[in-house]
Amino acid sequence: MSDGIVKQRTIAKETSLTGVGLHTGKEVSITFKPAPPNYGYRFVRTDLEGAPEIEADANYVVNTQRGTNLEKLGVKIQTSEHVLAALVGMEVDNCIIELNASEPPIMDGSSKFFVQAIEKAGIEEQDEEREEYIVKEVISYVDEESGSEITVIPADEYQVTTMVDFETKVLGTQNASLKHLSNFKDEIANARTFSFLHEIEMLLDNGLIKGGDLNNAIVYVDKELSPKTMEKLRDAFGKDQISVKPNGILDNLTLHHPNEAARHKLLDVIGDLALIGTRIRGKVIANKPGHHVNTQFAKKLSKIIKIESRNKIPKFDITKTPVKDVNEIMDMLPHRPPFLLVDKILELSETHVVGLKNVTMNEPFFVGHFPGAPVMPGVLIVEAMAQTGGILALSTVPDPENYLTFFMKINNVKFKQQVNPGDTLVFNLELITPIRRGIVHMQGNAYANNKLVTEAELMAQIVKTKNT
């Protein structure tokens, strides 16, 4: 797209898959359905009463022992990462994920079958713009216990590199990189999950991995295979014979890539970081990643994004024809120069108003307010904000010229930046609660030079003048 705007995407029609749940061993179905813009990813448990939803959100992560497990109000989703990686990898922003059990089918232990299903359903572009968090500085999370570390650094697009070191002879150090998300399908999607023999033994002893046959996990043999273990494995996987290949894996399958383990870890990172809920423009470098460190990093990044979006500067077109010019403002407000502190109204609805003031050196207050270093007094910024809010309040009555607006309360005022001659101040006020009995409760923000300069919570009352 030439203008650089990327639109959100969903799938064109619904598509389903059936398979076995890795830990439950039961047959489960997953259905991907189109979703509206700004919906994100949500799991829906169709097997439970009321079909409860769980958003794919890092704050719902409760357990990362064998996969990333989410829980909301007692409703669980297990091993969400392979499904989420497929959606991110196929650049789908919004999707309903219906499950008739607590976990998706494991399929072959990769994202390949989910990617194929999404491809079959087709992708549809939506009207809304895709939100993307542009990484501007290095952000890291370190897990002291495991030595795992995830860092994101500025980059032109979303990239992921994983460095894996299991400190075992059979599987030493491996790396994998994804330079463009468009390569996910061919380079990463078919990388299967893997386990070490000692983990498989423990899971079998505890009655877990009921759905695990040898076709959905690469098993690295990191210890001597005793006759007893051989028997257990033959039994568990319904095979007459089991042996170890020269490369140290069980003879159930052939590796798709020499570094398939590192590629699968990269797939997991993409799936787990989908829980941030916002696309990332930056390069993720994951050293010894695992579901715990991945999801802790996702929580950290999601918190940073929320804080930054709260302080995000809205875009106002200050060149467009105003909704009200200064003469129309004076028709509504009783203030007059030098105490009229709003030049024009840019936007006005039932719940918000946007006003503008050009701050010039001719302002009378600069004569006495630090003449050598003129700064607009903070109280006058709040007054200007209140006058803008007055327009919103008075626009609710048919004869605004017969009313006055009086302050009742000002709370949580913060002055964040100086306002100097030459600045253009833009005030954005939004109703916190609907107007009742002439009482107006607003959140006001003032911006200049693409920065938030002042914020305040204002309460005012509109009162009819006595001479009417």
pLDDT for the residue numbered 210: 59
Q: Using 50, 70 and 90 to split pLDDT, how confident is the model at 251?
A: confident
pLDDT digits (tens, 9 = 90+) for 433-450: 999 888 999 999 999 998
Nearest to 189 by CA among 111, 265, 266: 111
pLDDT for the residue numbered 205: 74
CATH of the domain at 293: 3.30.230.20
pLDDT for the residue numbered 207: 67
Catalytic hit among 23, 291, 292, 441? 291
Residues 419-442: what's their mean pLDDT?
94
> Are the CB atoms for 146 and 290 separated by under 8 Å?
yes
The string of DSSP codes covering 321-336 is PPSB-HHHHHHH----
The string of DSSP codes covering 41-101 is EEEEETTSTT--EEE--GGGEEE-TTS-EEEETTEEE---HHHHHHHHHTT--BEEEEESS
Q: 357 with 296, same domain?
A: no
pLDDT for the residue numbered 212: 53
Extended beta strands in 179-245, E state: 194-196, 218-220
Q: Does pLDDT of 52 surpass 90?
A: yes
Q: 291 with 207, same domain?
A: no
**Does a structural domain hold residue 320?**
no
CATH of the domain at 368: 3.10.129.10
| Least confident window among 115-119, 241-245, 287-291 | 241-245
Q: 121 with 199, same domain?
A: no
277 vs 307: which has the higher pLDDT:
277
| Least confident window among 119-123, 207-211, 441-445, 446-450 | 207-211
Q: 285 with 142, same domain?
A: yes
Range of the domain at 96: 7-191+259-310
234, 255, 276 — which closes off a domain? 255
**Residue 369 designated active-site:** yes
pLDDT digits (tens, 9 = 90+) for 219-245: 888 777 778 877 777 777 777 777 788
Q: 166 with 300, same domain?
A: yes
**Does a structural domain hold residue 306?**
yes
**Does a structural domain hold residue 457?**
yes
pLDDT for the residue numbered 66: 79
- Plot region of 97 (φ>0 → left; ψ -120 to 50 → alpha; else → beta): beta
**Residue 292 designated active-site:** no
Q: 386 with 306, same domain?
A: no
* 3-class secondary structure, 179: coil
**Does a structural domain hold residue 232?**
yes
Q: Which residues contact 246 (CB under 8 A, 6 or more apart)?
A: none
Nearest to 28 by CA among 68, 66, 83, 88: 83
Q: Using 50, 70 and 90 to split pLDDT, how confident is the model at 459?
A: very high
Q: Which helix (H) or strand (E) holds 255?
A: none
pLDDT for the residue numbered 240: 77
215, 230, 255 — which closes off a domain? 255
218, 234, 255 — which closes off a domain? 255
pLDDT digits (tens, 9 = 90+) for 80-92: 999 999 999 999 9
* 3-class secondary structure, 234: helix
Percent residues over pLDDT 90 in the chain: 74
User: Can you name the residues that pair with 200 across neighbouring β-strands?
Assistant: none
Average pLDDT, the chain: 91
Q: Does pLDDT of 2 surpass 60?
A: no
Residues 100-120: what's their mean pLDDT?
96
Q: Which residues contact 20 (CB under 8 A, 6 or more apart)?
A: 26, 27, 28, 105, 106, 211
Q: 137 with 51, same domain?
A: yes
> Are the CB atoms for 211 and 25 separated by under 8 Å?
yes
**Does a structural domain hold residue 177?**
yes
Q: What's the pTM? A: 0.70
**Does a structural domain hold residue 97?**
yes
40 vs 165: which has the higher pLDDT:
40
Q: 218 with 187, same domain?
A: no
User: Can you name the residues that pair with 53 across neighbouring β-strands?
Assistant: 44
Q: Does pLDDT of 252 surpass 80?
A: no
**Does a structural domain hold residue 419?**
yes
Percent residues over pLDDT 70 in the chain: 96
pLDDT for the residue numbered 202: 77
pLDDT for the residue numbered 1: 30
Q: 250 with 126, same domain?
A: no
CA distances from 245 to 225, 261, 332, 460 (A): 12, 16, 85, 78
Q: 389 with 241, same domain?
A: no
Tokens of residue 328, six digits: 């129309």
Q: Using 50, 70 and 90 to split pLDDT, how confident is the model at 158?
A: very high
Q: Does pLDDT of 467 surpass 70?
A: no
As for how many domains the chain has, the answer is: 3
pLDDT digits (tens, 9 = 90+) for 352-365: 999 999 999 999 99
In the chain, the amino acid numbered 445 is N
- Separation between Cα atoms, residue 287 and residue 266, nearest integer Å: 10
- Show contacts of 47-52: CB within 8 Å, 24+ apart: 47/99, 47/100, 47/101, 48/75, 51/98
- Write b or e for each residue in 245-266: b if 16 or more Cβ atoms lie within 10 A of its Cβ, otherwise e: eeeebbebbeebbebbbbbbbb
pLDDT digits (tens, 9 = 90+) for 303-327: 999 888 776 788 888 999 999 999 9
Q: Which residues contact 239 (CB under 8 A, 6 or more apart)?
A: 214, 233, 252
Q: 116 with 141, same domain?
A: yes
Q: Does pLDDT of 30 surpass 90?
A: yes
Residues 411-435: what's their mean pLDDT?
95
Residues 373-386: what's their mean pLDDT?
96
Q: 186 with 197, same domain?
A: no
**Does a structural domain hold residue 315?**
no
202 vs 343: which has the higher pLDDT:
343
